[in-house]
Amino acid sequence: MKSDDQFSQDIIDNLPNLRGYSHILARDHALAEDLVQDTIVRALTYRAQFQPGTNLRGWLTIILRNRYFNQLRSCGHRAEVQMDLERASGGGSGGQEESLELRDLRRALVKLPHAQREAVTLVGASGLSYEEAAKVTDCAVGTVKSRVSRARVQLQALLDGEDPRANPHSGQPLGRACAA
């Protein structure tokens, strides 16, 4: 079993993934940071429930996701969309082009259906495998793959300035049928 110091360090190593996922889920900076903090407190409190040798990132992500949905249920409303662009554009080289691209991506992500946004965030941004994302979202691996695929097509269309609803096959090579 890992020492308490190593477990704490492993949690710290997962903070960037937790923060990224919580910001995309909550779309509110203060709520996202509260979710991450609550996730860490719960992980440390219930450390004995973590099974050594399993995926800590997946376990933390499940805790964060459950906390988010519990908070939504207890408040009886959905979180308002609030973009914290200054904070989001603070990384990278600091160039204007990267900031604009990040802003455009965040705007496009907000337009995706929740299930697709969550799937593409778990797999693309958080680096979970399809199998791990399926466990987090409690759905089949094929469903996660489908959601990620559709989200990528819609994101590309949105970033290209197209309306993805106008052409459901946008982003696919010619001659390839949509598997919808």
CATH number of the domain at 179, please. 1.10.10.10
User: Contact at 8 Å (CB) between 93 and 100?
Assistant: no
Higher pLDDT, 28 or 18: 18
Cα gap 104→119, rounded to integer Å: 19
What pLDDT was estimated at residue 1?
A: 52
Domain with 71 in it: what CATH number? 1.10.1740.10
pLDDT over 70 for what percent of the chain? Answer: 77
- pTM of structure: 0.54
- Show the domain range for 2: 1-82
Instruction: Name the band, by pLDDT with cuts 50, 70 and 90, for residue 142.
Output: very high
Which three-class secondary structure string do you get for 136-164? Answer: HHCCCHHHHHHHHHHHHHHHHHHHCCCCC
CA 109 to chain centre: 10
What pLDDT was estimated at residue 72?
A: 80
Clarify whether residues 99 and 76 are in a common domain.
Answer: no
Q: Average pLDDT, stretch 11-19?
A: 92
What pLDDT was estimated at residue 78?
A: 45
Single out the residue in 82, 105, 121 at which a domain terminates: 82
pLDDT tens across 59-117, in order?
999 999 989 888 888 775 444 433 444 444 444 455 677 677 778 888 888 899 989 99
Clarify whether residues 72 and 109 are in a common domain.
Answer: no
Q: Classify residue 176 by burial, with Cβ atoms within 10 Å: 0-12, 13-18, 19+.
A: exposed
Clarify whether residues 54 and 108 are in a common domain.
Answer: no
Cα gap 81→110, rounded to integer Å: 8
In total, how many domains does the chain have?
Answer: 2
